[in-house]
Structure 1
Amino acid sequence: MAKTRRGKKSSLWRGLLKFLVWMAALGAVVVAAYMVFLDIKLRERLDSRKYELPARVFARPLELANGRVMHPDALEAEFDALGYKRVDLADDPGEWSREGMTYRVYRRAFVHADGKAPAAVATFTLRNDEIRNLKSGADNPREFRLDAAFIGSLLGGGDDRSPVRLSELSDSLLGPTLIAVEDRYFVHHFGVSPRGIARAFRANLEAGEVVQGGSTITQQLVKNIFFDHKPSLWRKINEALMAVLLEFHYDKGYILQEYMNEVWLGQQGSRAIYGFGLASQFYFQQPVTALEPHQIALLVGLAKGASYYNPWRHPKRALERRNVVLDVMHEQGLIDDAQLKKYRAMPLGVVAAAGVGQNPYPAFSERVVQELEPYYSYEELRTAGLRVYTTLAPSVQRIAERTLEQQLEKIEKDRQLQEKALQGAIVLVDNATGEVLTMVGDRRPRYPGFNRALEARRQVGSLIKPAVFLAALEQPRFYNLMTLLQDTELEEQMPNGDIWSPANFDKRSHGMVPLYLVLAKSYNQATARLGIELGVESVVNTLRRLGISADLPRVPALFLGAAELTPFEVAGMYQTMANGGEHVQLRTVLAVTGPDGDDLQSFRRRAKRSVDDVPAYLIRYGLEQVMREGTGRNAYRRLPNSIAFAGKSGTTNNGRDSWFSGFSPDTTAVVWIGRDDNTGTGLTGSTGALPVWTEIMRQLPHRHGRVVPPRGVEVLRVSDKGERMGRCSGGREMPFSIETELRAAPGCEQGRDNLRGWFRGWFDRDSQQQQREQQRRDSERMTPGWGIDPQRERQQREQEERRDDEEEPLSLPQGWRR
């Protein structure tokens, strides 16, 4: 009986064991099958994974060259925009130093649109605000180009990152610090670290709360790629299994690099900051390779919880966490005692929160997107990681932003206006190239809201008048700068029966006034009479040739500024007059490449001769008199008298809009001031926009001396009635088209001097050549600012003269065609 009982018991155990073996085998099959499923899922995801990166935008690179004018403030503003650090002696990329007026700058390696430039050192001296003795190593280069400042990315929101390669970080403490803090056994474990789990368990037990996690870097990478951050046992099991698989297929270097690019390190609205590459720019405006140990410590510390340790919202927490990481770095021998003491005593050093936008120049970037839209889809701009090289000049942008804010505050205070009541917009353009140097669309330049430079259509007032006078000067047999115009009251009946009767600003009539003075003084009555003589269509045609494509009212009020234009459109109109009648299509984009600098597409200068150079010179002279005798004369109280500035103020009814648009031989600038609700400001163009324009132009470089008249222009002495003075004394010198026939003043007939006049026509060419030679010498005398290279500028102008009426095609690589 006992034997039977023992047999039954043994049989039961054998059955149970057999069941357990079968269950274990089945479990092993299920686990194996699940592991195969996870393996397929992991490899498919990682092997096909491609970062979705917004287009990266860069400013124009600063080019240093002997003879180029560069004020120390402007030069150092360019260094700031690049995130270059001032040190005692620049010995590492991204540093600059100064001893007296001798500079040393260590350029970072950079991928330009036309190829890669290696890291290199240059030294030069600033003497009288001019670069001299430029050297790089043993060479004396013609120019030394710095890297282009990163100015933001396009189409914000969503996930954003700037991927780094582990090979770029071989000299950085980032990798060792990350391993020391996040996963000390990273190089030894196979995805899951029992020692790490045990260490975390003990630390949590001692603290009585969760203070440490046992996840490895590999597990964290798996979590970032495949799972959300909600804690659960099933997620932890999957993390562990996939971490083992990840270690089986990929080496440690790949895993660490991917983690560096995947870890979440901050948030800005809807924009998530992923990876140390972007976080370095976000918090310090520095490339990750340029970070110092205390900066690396802060970023590594943020990996534990970027919201909890946010350095702007919780600076005390962030500082404590950074110092904990520094202690670990010291414990692991990454920094010595002196460095630990030094870096623990340093502040966080993050940039101002207002300056970390995905797009710090929203007004300019909006135009960049507009120019790229015909060639790239929204998806390409948002995800393809394109590199966009632009025309933005950081130091000029800084001048414009600062000046607008300061001047608006001053105007509001002086006129007792409500604080922040006024708004403004600014556009600056290079006359010869059409490159947009600066665009400000809001007195808060970092605010990505309504872009007044591109979108605010406001009546332009007297800014449009030069088109009326240009239309007249294109008829040299009938009109010239001294043609007397009648400035008296007039009434013009409109098609609807209304009577249009414009008045002058001073409510007075001035009788017969020379054409140039009507322009300089901005007399409405005389301008309206001239426009009616010419006809609305003639003026509209002139505006079209100056570059205005907007809808224009076909009514006489057009002559006095009834058209609604944006500051950007006004800049294009005045650029044509500033550039001698050659209209250049304004552009913000120079080139676009793929993420690695390949697949280059160049956006070349597109220009055409739209106004003959003789009337273009004459209207320029008239606008110069606006600055000398008319509504812009206050500018010369702060500007050098030796520079040929030209421009025009504009004011609309009740002072709703205050405009000034003008140019030097090199740069056109447009300023608008007003209220968004379109109510009156009490400002004219001269009291509102002109001071802003003047202060900006005062800080930029310009050529001195007269602008040389083109062939076909002669300078004559005339009376105040526009009569040739001939052999008589007195009168004033004025430029005229050689097609203009002037009467001689009574008693001043030429007589035998006619022969001398005949000979003079032959010698005019020599005289003009002498003027040009003098202009060449004058061009090398410059005022301080963001930099002009006289020799290079002359060569460029000669090339551009040969390209008159040419439109250079845009080359679109096959790989980027839509």
Structure 2
Amino acid sequence: MADRRGSGRHRREPVLDDGGAGVLDVRLTLDDRAGRGASKGRRAEGGPPRGSGPKRPKRRGRSILGILAYWTVVLGLWCAIGLAGLVAYHAAQLPPIDQLKIPKRPPNIAILASDGTLLANRGETGGRSIPLAELPPFLPKAFVAIEDRRFYQHFGIDPVGIGRAFFRNLSGAGVMQGGSTLTQQLAKNLFLTQERTASRKIQEAILALWLEANFSKDQLLELYINRVYFGSGAYGVEAAAQRYFGKPARAVTVSEAAMLAGLVQAPSRLAPTRNPKAAQARAALVVAAMAELGFVTDRDAKVALSDPATAARGHAGGSANYAADLVMDVLDDFVGTVESDIVVSTTIDPGLQAAAERALTDELAAKGARYNVGQGALVALRPDGAVRALVGGRDYSQSQFNRATTAKRQPGSAFKPFVYLAALEAGLTPETVRDDSPVNIRGWAPENYSRDYRGPITLRDALAMSINTVAVRLGVEVGPRKVVRVAQRLGISSPLQANASLALGTSEVTALELVGAYAAFANGGTGVIPYVIAGVKTADGKAVYRRAETGLGRVIEPAIAAQMNAMMRETLLTGTARKAELPGWDAAGKTGTSQEFRDAWFVGYTGSLVAGVWLGNDDGEPTRRASGGNLPVEVWSRFMKVALANERPVALPGLRGAPAIAAAPARQRSAEAAPPSDNAWIPPDPAERGLLERLFGIR
């Protein structure tokens, strides 16, 4: 009997095959192969029939899990290849990486008041760039807390943040979140447009990696807070702090910092000037995030939440912006093209500017509807031409049109001092008498405001009472061209029509040039060029421009200036501007009203300040009898009382210790002896009167 062990019949051992997970492969040893023959022989000699012994297991196919794993790997590889190609394509649309550089920030123009406080920022950004070192630590951290809390951990792209935002948005829990890091937002602001496309997001990610590789985290954060947009034309945290809170960024509180950080998500919707409740709600989320991350103490967080920030009332649309606009209009004449941040020092007194704004807006609020007056302007100068206050309208936030410097309106009788000055220079005196009676010039028959006539009247009284007939006669007498030259000599630059109606102020002028011309009376006869810029420096303090003493030189003889001052002082004492008298001060001026009460003016002055007020409507609609002697005088008086409250009274030039009417200089001649000037009219002999009556209609 054969030994079974010797036959090589060994037990088959199952072994896992490397080629497939879980597939059983039966491996036979060499002895197994040798024993097959014996087995066959036994079956032939009467052993068990074929197929009755143990069956060989069949090879099974791959499991579903294995197939999924396989195709997942394949699909992942193809996606990686496709993504790499997509990134390469969009990267090719960008400038070469080795040529990338941070775009230069547009220059800022900081405009300062005479005391060094900030009036406004101008330029594309609305504020200067400010280093992190100048800011309270909680301010930049507020942006990290709400916009990118893993800013200091990620490499420019934050997969963890993207995943968290995805699942949070998917679940609908809390506020919708985005996955962009601060670095990605910075990349978008620096290099890309604001369009929302997949292409831009890919380029944004590429640029974010480049930024992270070339700048430190603090450098990136500083770039971000100085470039991000906060709404209302403010780019950067300094511009935003000034715009919304009226203070520099270094002075903001925790609650204000939180509101600024919350703004960047939606500047228009969350602006505290437009939607304060939404802005405060967003700021509360920022404060909570800052406390959670340890950026502020719990005590500071409670204070910030209990006392939320509010926008500075009226700061954004303040009238100082009209003065700032004037600065920008003339700046090119002094410094040319601005290529870096500069600081402009001005002559504007912030106290006087605020007083001028209040005087104008409060009077219009109280009486504008009664007089049907919608707009106004106020200009105040020192007698040397330095602009101390300039208000170009009742509300800058509603209208940026500068009615003080740009609008040209008929000055009415406020133009008459130039006519009377020409008459005095032609040899007349304040005591010269002219006839107040109807006048007709080639069919034009101007009337007095009162529509009555006083007969013979001195020039002093005629100017004080604003008698139209006398002014017209004087204009024709000295010649309209002479009047034009006198006005231009004193600083009127607008075109003037040399005709008879010029004496009644029918040629249009701006408030600034009219007030500037009156400064020659206030300083005793020196012509001035109104100016608002005192100096310009670079941001690091290098002088670019410094104003030198300039002007138009002497334009009125001192004695004649004294006569004009005495005559216009009478306007406030007994004439059309009696409401404008300033107790304790020598003051002078002239009212003006244009045809159909469209424009109402008063320009008045002391020895230390000249101010002019215009009131009317932008569309030229007539007012309800607003004349120079009522509402403009009231605005002027209200302003001047505040402006001069802390100053020592100064006498008008030529009137200190002198009689009210100064004597005429010896060189003056009577009107009858004065030589004719261009287009001048000399009182005729009786034999000639008929011809002139036919030519001019004068009786």
State the TM-score, normalized to the length of structure 1: 0.66
In 2, are the aligned partners of 1:666 and 1:703 still within 8 Å (CA)?
no
User: Mind listing any 5+ residue stretches in structure 1 that lack a counterpart?
Assistant: 1-5, 8-18, 62-146, 493-497, 717-732, 744-818
Tell me the CA shift for residue 593 of structure 1. Answer: 3.2
Contact 2:524 2:653 in 1 (8 A): no
Q: Look up the match of 2:585.
A: 643
- Kept in 2, the 8 Å contact 1:39–1:242? The answer is no
Note if 1:391 corresponds to 2:352: no
Is 1:348 the equivalent of 2:313? no
- Residue in 2 that maps onto 1:485: 434
- CA shift digits 1:583-609 (9 cap, x unpaired): 110112222333444351223342111
For residues 400 and 150 of structure 2, the distance between their equivalents in structure 1, rounded to whole angstroms, comes to 49
Q: Deviations over 1:210-252 (max 9, x none)?
A: 8334433223322333344555555544444433332222222
Instruction: Give unmatched runs, 5+ long, in structure 2.
Output: 1-17, 20-73, 671-699
Aligned to 1:276: 237
Q: Which residue in 1 is equivalent to 2:247?
A: 286
Shift of 1:615: 0.7
The answer on 1:693 being equivalent to 2:636 is yes
**1:214-293, aligned counterparts within 5 Å?**
214-229=179-194, 235-266=200-231, 268=232, 271=233, 273-293=234-254
Change over 3 Å in CA distance of 1:742–1:330 after alignment to 2: same
Cα distance in 1 for partners of 2:319, 2:561 equals: 37
Residue aligning to 2:386: 435
Mapping for residues 115-126 of structure 1, pairs under 5 Å: none
1:150 aligns with 2:119: yes
Deviations 1:173-195 (A, max 9, x none): 12333333333333333323344
Which residue number in structure 1 is paired with residue 288 of structure 2?
327
CA gap of 1:569–1:263, structure 2 versus 1, over 3 A, is: closer
Question: What is the match of residue 707 of structure 1?
Answer: 652
**Superposition map of 1:340-489 within 5 A:** 340-352=301-313, 355-357=315-317, 361-375=320-334, 380=337, 384-412=340-368, 416-417=370-371, 421-432=373-384, 434-475=385-426, 478-489=427-438
Aligned pair in 2 of structure 1 residues 395, 239: CA closer, same or farther (>3 Å)?
Answer: same
Distance (Å, rounded) in 2 between the aligned partners of 1:630 and 1:427:
23
Provide the rounded CA distance (Å) in 1 between the counterparts of 2:263 and 2:280: 11
Instruction: Name the SS of the counterpart of 1:540 in structure 2.
Output: helix
C-alpha displacement of 1:313? 4.7
Please state how far the C-alpha of 1:468 moved relative to its aligned partner.
2.4
CA contact (8 A) 1:152 1:361 kept: no
* Contact kept? 1:355, 1:446, Cα under 8 Å: no
Measured in 2, the distance between the counterparts of 1:537 and 1:530 equals: 12
Inter-CA distance 26–404: structure 2 relative to 1 (3 Å threshold) = closer
Letter of the 1:44 counterpart: Q
Distance 2:90 2:193 in 1: 20
CA shift, 1:291, in A, is: 0.9
SS of residue matched to 1:648: strand
Shift of 1:666: 0.9
For residues 251 and 23 of structure 1, do their structure 2 counterparts lie closer, same or farther at Cα, with a shift above 3 Å needed?
A: same
Shift of 1:290: 0.7
1:356 corresponds to which letter in structure 2? A
Instruction: Name the amino acid aligned to 2:528.
Output: V
What's the counterpart of residue 632 of structure 1? Answer: 577
CA shift in 2, pair 1:369/1:247, >3 Å = closer
Residue 56 of structure 1: SS of its match in structure 2?
A: strand
Distance 1:38 1:398 in 2: 53
Aligned-residue offset at 1:480: 2.5
SS in 1 for 2:624: coil
SS of corresponding position for 2:222: helix
Corresponding position of 2:40: none
Please give the alpha-carbon distance, in whole angstroms, between the structure 1 residues aligned to 2:451 and 2:198: 84
Cα gap change, 1:582/1:29 in structure 2, threshold over 3 Å: closer, same or farther? same
* Counterpart in the other structure of 2:497: 553
Write out per-residue CA displacement over residues 716-773 of structure 1, whole angstroms, 9 at most, x where no aligned residue. 7xxxxxxxxxxxxxxxx64214517999xxxxxxxxxxxxxxxxxxxxxxxxxxxxxx
Tell me, in whole angstroms, the C-alpha distance in 1 between the residues paired with 2:629 and 2:80. 91
1:529-581 residue CA offsets vs partner (Å, 9 max, x unmatched) = 33333233332222222112322222222223333222122112111111111
- Residue 472 of structure 2 corresponds to 528
Give the C-alpha shift of residue 632 in structure 1.
1.6
Change (3 A) 1:56 1:195: same
Trace 1:180-219 onto structure 2 (pairs within 5 A). 180-201=145-166, 203-204=168-169, 207=172, 211-219=176-184
Structure 1 residue 662: Cα displacement: 1.0
Letter in 1 for 2:154: H
Question: Whose Rg is larger?
Answer: 2
Where does residue 591 of structure 1 map in the other structure? 535
The match for 1:623 among 568, 593, 596 is 568
More strand, by proportion: 1
Residue identity matched to 2:141: P
| Counterpart for residue 106 of structure 2 | 52
- Which digits, 9 at most, give the CA deviation of each residue in 1:268-304, with x for residues without a partner? 3xx4x33322222222122111111111112222334
- The question of whether the paired residues in 2 share the 8 Å contact of 1:405 and 1:443 is answered with yes
TM-score by length of 2: 0.76
Aligned length: 595
Aligned to 1:578: 522
Q: Secondary structure at the match of 2:189?
A: helix
How far apart in 2 are the matches of 1:235 and 1:371?
41
- Over 3 Å counting, the alpha-carbon distance change for 1:333 and 1:407 in structure 2 is same
Contact preservation (8 Å) 1:545, 1:611:
no
Q: Distance in 2 between matches of 1:369 and 1:29?
A: 50
Counterpart-to-counterpart distance in 2, 1:363 and 1:28: 54
Shift of 1:391: 2.2
Write the deviation string for residues 11-56 of structure 1: whole angstroms up to 9, x where unpaired. Answer: xxxxxxxx99x99999999799779968964553424x10124533
Residue 661 to residue 291, structure 1, CA distance change in 2 (3 Å): same
**1:372 to 1:223, Cα distance in 2 relative to 1, 3 A:** closer
Sort the Cα spacing of 1:741 and 1:405 in 2 relative to 1 into closer, same or farther, 3 A: closer
Question: Is 2:459 the counterpart of 1:515?
Answer: yes
Structure 1 stretch displaced more, 182-191 or 392-401? 182-191
C-alpha distance in 2 between matches for 1:705 and 1:586: 21
Matches within 5 A, 1:127-138: none
> How far has the Cα of 1:699 moved from its partner?
1.2
Q: Is the 8 Å Cα contact of residues 598 and 620 (structure 2) preserved in structure 1? A: no
CA RMSD, 1 decimal? 3.6
* Cα deviation 1:450-501 (Å, max 9, x = unaligned): 43222333322222222222223335xx432223333334444xxxxx2444
Aligned to 1:735: 662
2:130 aligns with one of 164, 179, 186: 164
Residue 674 of structure 1: aligned partner: 616
Cα distance in 2 between the residues matched to 1:31 and 1:551 = 65
Which segment drifts farther, 22-31 or 574-583? 22-31
One-letter code of the match for 1:46? K
Structure 1 residues 605-633: Cα deviation after superposition (integer angstroms, max 9, x where no partner): 42111111111111111111111121122
Distance verdict in 2 for CA 1:613–1:241, change over 3 Å: same
The residue type paired with residue 662 of structure 2 is: P
In structure 2, what residue type is equivalent to 1:404?
L
Q: 1:633 & 1:210 partners in 2: Cα distance?
A: 65
| Matched residue, 1:665 | 607
For residues 498-526 of structure 1, what are the alpha-carbon distances to aligned partners after superposition, in whole Å with 9 as ceiling and x for unaligned? Answer: 24444333333333333322222222333
1:44-70 Cα distance to aligned partner (Å, 9 max, x none): 3424x1012453322222xxxxxxxxx
Q: Residue type matched to 1:632 in 2?
A: A
Q: Is the 8 A contact 1:674 1:681 kept in 2?
A: no
% identical aligned pairs = 32
SS of the residue corresponding to residue 151 of structure 1 reads: strand
Distance across 2 between alignment mates of 1:734 and 1:229: 71
1:102-160 CA distance string (max 9 Å, x none): xxxxxxxxxxxxxxxxxxxxxxxxxxxxxxxxxxxxxxxxxxxxx32232425xxx665
CA distance in 1 between counterparts of 2:642 and 2:132 reads 43
Sort the Cα spacing of 1:555 and 1:341 in 2 relative to 1 into closer, same or farther, 3 A.
same
